[in-house]
A and B are shown apart, each in its own frame.
Chain A
């Protein structure tokens, strides 16, 4: 990873950069893309893995400040880890519980501090528990300040339920327990989101879904629709396809990585072409954590992230956008909880309960 990132880019850094928080423009927008699936160096930035990420490597890294060592010291479960990314605190709740984060999310800091409307912060996520990601249970924050959450597969399932015998299969997104499909809020709720928020008819939506091959493609389609209709200033997209690795099929895991690579480039291109986003949007891409190494006898290699070894805890992050230096590689160790304070500094809100630190290389 380190070698790949350094290709053709300078790594000398000046650590001084004025805190842009004070200069945050009202029009500043942020898009965060997380991989709720974990990807290892071997299959991404290591020499053998680079063929799986041509877009990240050739199109995005040259435009980015790239952090090569992002360590997650928390619980390595996707929902709790993504919640930790969103709060800047290592959340400690049960990964499989349907609960809200205990600490304020970046969405709440953003909306409360900057008095932003509910339409200005959104989460697009796989359905495994992520329906609570938008807002915390923290006193003085919570429901009135959270982000709207859209679960694209539930939208789709609501659109076709009753007309298709396979609709429940669509909801199978928890690859650690392949038959489990969470029951969430009712069909009407999802159909209402489709119509009222996304301005999509059921028939148009299902017709488009018929052209897609994966849940992540559906998520990116929904995100694009959100960007066109509401142009939220803070948009959080969690991709999940690569977590199919839990099934033990290496080829499916690789397909998930290649798809995520392509979709990240698509999102970036959308940012560059949508007038509401062009020239004023920062984008952050990071896996929530890695996966177990091949050499740890306690695990089964790429399949899981259960050992807590260094490889499963260490991943990367790239930041792109106006004012963020391009072609820079940062090899110092940072933590995944540094994301929220960094976003707070960029957006001009105070992430007061977050335990991480703003990244001077970005802000």
Chain B
């Protein structure tokens, strides 16, 4: 089917708000190349479960595309129009199931050696959108906080080396009350600048009880029940001959919150959908808590674009070597605090990188702390780069420096 032939009733299966968006932009959709439109519809169909920042971005993008003269629009999407679709994709319903279609499209672009051209077209489009569409400046400078190394005793290797060139390494931090200082800062920011999904706490273990209003929380420990349900469904899908890894991925993509035991309450719909996505779209998030925390932080930053994000890593389960699996001894779940510290250190770096991709990065601040230890690193507009501080301070003092 050609986009020019699109009819309103083809969007009847879309959720209410997504359908509304689609119908309002039908004229625009009819002018877009099939490949680009299928990717755009993948976003549109999820509109009802998107965070406010994502909705705003999508609305602004559509408004911009609608504002373009026909020639300018054609020029903007020319890279996508040049890509050739294989006939095997002809039977794909990219309107009703854009996600499935894009999955097959991706495989097709690899197979037909068009991935490079697609990347070039996407980069050009993104660059044009980025420079032309009005971006929402954050109400206050963003703050990212990452806590690593829970459960680790002595550790002599250098920490935070990838982040060091961008900030100051503190070697004599007083660890007392460290977590309290950090949670207080999160709560205070949420209280002073309330907004939906603007302040987050991601926990790799069991979440610390917080009574502060306005802080959204996701935790690996809190998702134990849905994780077990999901793993069970994956196992039974495999046992019943669902097919290979791709069929398994399709099975995961179809999971709804209620399939994993989440409530059907509309009030929880957006967050529950997000939690399901963390478990079904993230590789390893179902099994390793450090992966869960890193991926959750990435997705919170990418999608919710928060003002404040606190991520606390916890020890993940230990990977069993082959000889242990062979020993046929009863399985007891052990943790690997040291390996988890290395995972989390990289996770902290990725969290900072992802924060820097957001609008207002030049004003944003970042703090990473080795939990219950004396090492921390801070990054911010007023923090010297590539230096070390040996002056003694608690985390409250460092937070004041960060701003």
Instruction: Give A contacts to B, CB under 8 Å.
Output: 48, 73-77, 90, 92-94, 96-98, 156, 160, 163-166, 169-170, 174-182, 206, 209-215, 217-218, 244, 246-252, 254, 294-295, 297, 300-304, 307-309
Cα A211 to Cα B285 in complex, Å, equals: 30
Encode B233-276 as 1/0 by CB contact (under 8 A) with A: 01100100000111011000000000000000000000000000
Number of CB contacts from chain A to chain B under 8 A: 139
B78 CB to nearest A CB, Å: 20
What residues on B are CB-neighbors of A75 within 8 Å? 110-111
Q: Is the CB of A247 within 8 A of B323?
A: no
- Evaluate whether A249 and B343 lie within 8 angstroms (CB atoms) in the complex, with A176-B283, A178-B284, A210-B323 already known: yes
Residues of B with C-beta under 8 A to A247: 283-284, 287-288, 291
| Chain B residues in 8 Å Cβ range of A90 | 113
Given A96-B244, A294-B349, 8 more A-B residue pairs with CB atoms under 8 Å apart are A178-B287, A209-B323, A213-B321, A213-B323, A247-B288, A248-B291, A249-B288, A252-B339
Q: Which of these binds chain A: B27-35, B168-176, B324-332?
A: B324-332
Most B Cβ at <10 Å: residue of A92, A174, A247:
A247
> Does B323 contact A300, Cβ atoms closer than 8 Å?
no
**Chain A residues with CB below 8 A from B107, complex form:** 94
Question: Cβ of A249 and Cβ of B290 under 8 Å apart?
Answer: yes
* Those of B280-308 within 8 Å (CB) of chain A: 282-285, 287-288, 290-291, 294-295, 298
Residues of A within 8 A of B161 (CB): 48
Q: Which residues of A contact B350 (CB under 8 A)?
A: 294, 300-301
A-B contact pairs, 28 of them (CB 8 A): A75-B110, A92-B113, A94-B246, A98-B244, A156-B326, A164-B325, A164-B326, A166-B328, A166-B331, A170-B326, A174-B245, A176-B283, A177-B248, A178-B287, A179-B238, A209-B322, A210-B323, A210-B326, A212-B321, A215-B322, A247-B288, A248-B282, A248-B283, A249-B316, A252-B319, A297-B354, A308-B116, A309-B119
- Chain A neighbourhood of B327, CB < 8 A: 210
Q: Interface residues, chain B, CB within 8 Å of chain A?
A: 107, 110-113, 115-116, 119, 161, 231, 234-235, 238, 244-246, 248-249, 282-285, 287-288, 290-291, 294-295, 298, 316, 319-323, 325-328, 331, 336, 338-340, 342-343, 345-347, 349-350, 353-354, 357
B325 touches A170 (CB 8 A): yes
Contacts of A182 in B (CB 8 A): 244
Cα separation A179 to B235 with both chains bound (whole Å): 7
Contact assessment for B323 and A295 in the assembled complex, using a CB-CB cutoff below 8 Å = no
Q: Shortest Cβ distance from A44 into chain B, in angstroms?
A: 16
Which of A294, A302, A303, A309 meets B353, CB within 8 Å?
A294
Contacts of A74 in B (CB 8 A): 113
A150 to B291, CA, bound (A): 33
In whole angstroms, how far apart are the Cα atoms of A71 and B175 in the complex?
48
- Please measure, in the bound complex, the distance between the C-alpha atom of A254 and the C-alpha atom of B343, giving whole angstroms: 10
Q: Which B residues are CB-close (under 8 A) to A300?
A: 295, 298, 350
Q: Known: A251-B343, A252-B339. Contact between A246 and B326, CB under 8 A?
A: no
Min distance, Cβ B321 to any Cβ of chain A, angstroms: 4
- Kindly identify which residue among A77, A211, A248 contacts B323, using a CB–CB cutoff of 8 Å: A211
B321:A214 contact, CB within 8 angstroms: yes
Give the one of B112, B320, B350 with max A CB within 10 A.
B350
Smallest Cβ-Cβ distance to B246: which chain A residue: A96
The distance in angstroms between the C-alpha atoms of A49 and B371, with both chains bound, is 26
Expressed in whole angstroms, the Cα–Cα distance for A180 and B247 within the complex equals 10
A164: which B residues are within 8 A, CB to CB? 325-326, 328
Q: How far is the CA of A317 from the CA of B98 in the complex (A)?
A: 40
- Would you call A248 and B245 a contact (CB within 8 A)? no
Q: Cβ of A180: which chain B residues have Cβ within 8 Å of it?
A: 238, 244-245, 248
Which residues does chain B contribute within 8 Å of A160, judged by CB atoms?
A: 326
Q: Please give me the 7 A-B residue pairs with the lowest Cβ-Cβ distance, nearest first.
A: A248-B291, A177-B245, A251-B342, A213-B321, A251-B339, A247-B284, A248-B284
Question: With the chains together, A90 CA to B111 CA distance in Å?
Answer: 9
A321 and B283 alpha carbons, distance in the complex (Å): 40
Cβ contacts under 8 Å, A307 to chain B: 119
